[in-house]
Chain A
């Protein structure tokens, strides 16, 4: 992609963020997630891993919901697709915008428990929590994108498919990237989060992006 092309994709990321913020619907799961973290931390300011075995799968679900809603929000996709230079650039911008909107939730989920714990958490543990929440956000965005229109046209089916995928992949402890991450955080022996998990999440997001493009280019 040329420099001018990259600049136009960045401009579309800004448009997508503005659309989602203006429409507000996609922000609901992220706001609910922050409220859930606050409730968990205030009620139980326990030592590490604290609420993370709960906040990571909840963030995974919230990011799936948010990216599903974000791809549907606002201005018609066709206008921006033509303006930016095709569906490949549009989906890059849509994924980028969804991730940008999810960053505050990642930070809140990973840092708030450490900040509110009187004894504090070790920096390495907090870093691991950041990686775990980022993995959940990347994987949730991938699932949301893979279940969004036009891959899954009907919103009811999209929600059902995404819900089943999230529940299964977050609860099977050997299934990367979210299942293994939650399993590691929840382990009594203090296992470390596998550094390959975020890599797997990035690969999943890339695969969802390419898959979305392959479908959308034939079904505007």
Chain B
């Protein structure tokens, strides 16, 4: 799918988007970043076919589109009925979205109205209906927002799966830019610029078996969070974490905890 010289403005506004060229293909998720009000959501609506640009064209859009707006809206329908209907509207067999919902760790009552769900759980419902589209276009607006850790990890895993779908998403969390094959862009003043990706970081806690300060002096450089007694807590850039851990183990430390922190992009 390609967006060519896309421009858009709403009634009474200047150009929200001003000459966007974008290419999206399966296996290369397009991640759009930018400040609030920069035009990311407008770009996503145009990509999803909800909005027609004031100028420019969108070519090669797949026949079926799954779209997640933020926030996902409320409805009096139950989760099961809403997802069943949306499966049918997508041209999918009923039950596809419910299966995705389970993979995202949905543990509420599927026969209760969506309007009664929390914002995060409603986001899971919205993600389920969009990600049920495995062979088409999936457009997600801030998909990690409001998700708990388990659901966020489940979403990352689903998006990292090899699939025939084209993915376009807006993301502030930094998780999108860490997806395999991600192409990161930044929207600024209506234009699309190459995004800058900052790698994620890893937080490591080790027990040194002796004075942590003395041990840390012999280890590779890292940002020290805590150094008390034999406890040493540091953060390092994710690609350097394995080397730091190997050095710590070689120095006689034992690992207490390792946590992956999301990166950022802009």
Query: Measuring CB to CB, which residues of chain A are less than 8 angstroms from any residue of chain B?
Result: 4, 7-8, 11-12, 14-15, 18-19, 22-24, 74-76, 78-87, 217-220
B contact residues around A85 at 8 Å (CB): 49, 63-65
CA distance A83 to B48 in the complex (A): 9
Interchain CB contact under 8 A, B88 and A14: yes
* 9 pairs of A and B residues whose beta carbons are closest in the complex: A76-B73, A82-B67, A11-B88, A22-B76, A15-B85, A217-B52, A220-B51, A82-B48, A75-B75
CA distance A75 to B72 in the complex (A): 9
Number of cross-chain contacts by CB at 8 Å: 94
Q: Is B126 located at the chain interface by the 8 A CB criterion?
A: yes
Known contacts A19-B77, A23-B76; is-contact A218 B89 (Cβ 8 Å): no
Q: How large is the interface on B (under 10, 10 to 19, 20 to 34, 35 or more residues)?
A: 20 to 34
Q: Find the A residue at minimum CB distance from B113.
A: A22
Q: Is B191 located at the chain interface by the 8 A CB criterion?
A: no
B contact residues around A82 at 8 Å (CB): 48-50, 65-67, 139
User: For chain A, what secondary structure do more than half of its interface residues adopt (helix, strand, loop), or is it mixed?
Assistant: helix
CA distance A143 to B148 in the complex (A): 45
Which residue of B63, B89, B113 contacts A15 across the interface (Cβ within 8 Å)? B89
Q: Find the B residue at minimum CB distance from A82.
A: B67
Shortest CB–CB separation between residue A214 and chain B, in angstroms?
A: 10
Interchain CB contact under 8 A, A78 and B45: yes
CA distance A79 to B90 in the complex (A): 11
A contact residues around B73 at 8 Å (CB): 75-76, 79
Q: Find the B residue at minimum CB distance from A14.
A: B85
B contact residues around A87 at 8 Å (CB): 50, 52
Interchain CB contact under 8 A, B11 and A81: no
Q: Is B123 located at the chain interface by the 8 A CB criterion?
A: no
Known contacts A19-B77, A74-B75, A219-B11; is-contact A81 B50 (Cβ 8 Å): yes
B contact residues around A11 at 8 Å (CB): 85, 88-89, 91
Interchain CB contact under 8 A, B69 and A76: yes
Shortest CB–CB separation between residue B113 and chain A, in angstroms?
A: 8
Q: Is B28 located at the chain interface by the 8 A CB criterion?
A: no
Instruction: Beyond the given A11-B91, A23-B75, A83-B129, please list 17 additional residue pairs across the A-B interface where CB-CB is below 8 A.
Output: A15-B86, A15-B88, A18-B77, A18-B81, A74-B76, A75-B73, A75-B82, A76-B69, A78-B67, A79-B68, A79-B69, A79-B73, A80-B86, A82-B50, A83-B64, A85-B64, A220-B45
